Chains A and B, each alone.
Chain A
Amino acid sequence: MTTSPRPADAARTAITTTTQLRAIQPSPPVGPVERAGLRDRLRGLILPVALLALIWSLLTDWRLDAWVFGLPALAIAAGLLLAMPHPRRWRLAPVPTLLFALWFAVQAVRGAVDVALRAVAPRMPLRPGFRSWRTALPEGAPRIVLANAVTLLPGTLSAELEGQRLVIHVLDAGLDHDRALGDLESRIAAIFAAPLPGREVAA
């Protein structure tokens, strides 16, 4: 944060600090790993480390002598994964994931074309504004995927994710974004096989 707390801005500084404190609260605590959870976490490492090993092999053209450096690299990566606060593990459903990837590719192209046309149109049709969306997706990876996907969808940009509330900046406030967001949400729920209880839209 690059705000400048001059003496005159004491009030502003106080507000900054409280915002930070409030923001720090919900983040998961970073502490020593409990013994019972350790085995579970190590098991959770298998898939990411296998994926990273695949990346290493692709980068080095499957050369065996490269593993002299590949093993330390994997050790560093595994250490980083262990050091980070660990979220809940999710099982991905393969067919919905593939469908989502295809649908999302089309949507991302549509989003880019949309914003490009707005940029070059002489009248520049913009009616920017913020909207709030209460997501029914569970915490963790599904919400992160939702926020990042929203950014690449036509006309929407995620600006805040706090608990269930997702604040979205839209290029055209006159359009109906609720249907697109609901569609996106149910597609993401299908990927993570997460139940989606009745959702409501916040003001």
Chain B
Amino acid sequence: MISMVAMVLIGAGALFFLAGTIGLLRFPDLHCQLHALTKADGLGLTLIGLGAALLAGSVGDIARIALICAFAALSGATCGHLIARHARRGDAEGRDV
């Protein structure tokens, strides 16, 4: 039963990764692509992490998975911000010249 739930979670996570990748390929500009990457892939990783935590054997493993998910979400948001900031500043400079 638990492994069934875990499989469903991991499958849903993979679907979000797929949707994020489709967004990366289809969206017209860099900022929209960042939306797809930060949000969809972040949730995808969290779902896969939840599924893996259900299958994990020990508290230590679950803690490790939780740490990975937390830091991945944090760095996803931060990297998204930094890339968007850099791209926006580059655009602004291009317009000024």
Contacts and interface: CB of A to CB of B under 8 A. Distances in A.
Contact of B20 (A119, A128, A130): A119
Given A12-B93, A157-B80, A151 B38 contact: yes
A111 B81 contact: no
Main secondary structure of the interface of B (DSSP, over half): helix
B12 to A, nearest CB: 11
Contacts of B22: 119-120
Interface string B24-66: 0011110110111011101110000000000000111001100
Contact of B85 (A3, A159, A171): A159
Given A58-B59, A169-B31, A152 B86 contact: no
A147 interface: yes
Given A12-B97, A55-B67, A169-B84, A128 B38 contact: no
B3 interface: no
A160 to B, nearest CB: 5
A116 B19 contact: yes
A25 interface: no
A59 interface: yes
A131 interface: no
Contacts, number: 119
A112 B73 CA distance: 12
A126 B23 CA distance: 11
Interface string A106-132: 001101101111111000101010100
Interface residues of A, number: 40
How many B residues are at the interface, by size bracket? Answer: 35 or more
B81 A158 contact: yes
A116 B40 contact: yes
Interface of A: 1, 3, 9, 11-12, 15-16, 19, 55, 58-59, 61, 108-109, 111-112, 114-120, 124, 126, 128, 130, 147-148, 151-152, 155, 157-161, 167, 169, 171
Given A112-B43, A115-B36, A119-B20, 4 more contacts: A59-B60, A115-B40, A116-B19, A119-B19
Interface of B: 15-16, 19-20, 22-23, 26-29, 31-32, 34-36, 38-40, 42-44, 58-60, 63-64, 67, 73-74, 77-78, 80-81, 84-86, 88-90, 93, 96-97
9 tightest A-B contacts by CB? A119-B23, A116-B19, A112-B43, A58-B63, A159-B84, A148-B77, A151-B77, A169-B31, A112-B39
